[in-house]
Copies of this chain bind each other. A is one copy, B any other.
């Protein structure tokens, strides 16, 4: 891999150490709840109230928030607006992260169309597909290109995340191609495991394995 290409795709962030993954999964819950409170014009919130709403231990919440260097005030708690803003910044949701969608079949096209991702800082700037009929078309103003355009796109558009939504048979190969283009993170939506060098960030959103877990649990609801 070319280091220069890799660094061109890197997002500089400051102040955030590598956090435990469970903390990183809980912080967005707090953020979502704070946004709700803000819309309800609530000004201050205690860990106890967050704990009651989200069923997380108050001590865990205080510990999670301490990673942000934020402490609540005795008796008053946290300022809803300040904490919401700090959390959003800390989680990277308020920055723009340019991404490319690899595979614009039904799931890929659907993810491009989901405006929620944009609100959480993911800016899908291009799609890639091997299907000649898709190349040159646009999905919600996002243009679809041929795979051989990826090296140039990754550089020119400062792409830091490749969202993987290709058929499973070509998933690893397509991920390898993205990595060779200097894209430092793969967000894997395919049902297979993606193997990548240690310096590459791989995040798996295994929609289908969540289904498997749910089906299994459903099959085991005791009869009444």
Contact = CB atoms under 8 A, between A and B. Distances in A.
Interface of A: 3, 6-7, 10-14, 16-19, 21, 24-25, 27-29, 31-33, 35-36, 39, 54-56, 91-93, 95, 97, 106-107, 109-111, 113-117, 120-122, 160-161, 168-169, 184-185, 187, 190-193, 195, 199, 201, 203-221, 223-224
Given A91-B212, A199-B221, 5 more contacts: A14-B219, A92-B212, A92-B215, A160-B218, A201-B218
Contacts of A187: 210-211, 214
Contacts of A36: 168-169, 192
Copies of this chain, complex-wide, total: 2
A18 B109 contact: no
Contact of A219 (B13, B195, B207): B13
Given A168-B35, A215-B92, A106 B97 contact: no
B221 A55 contact: no
A36 B62 CA distance: 47
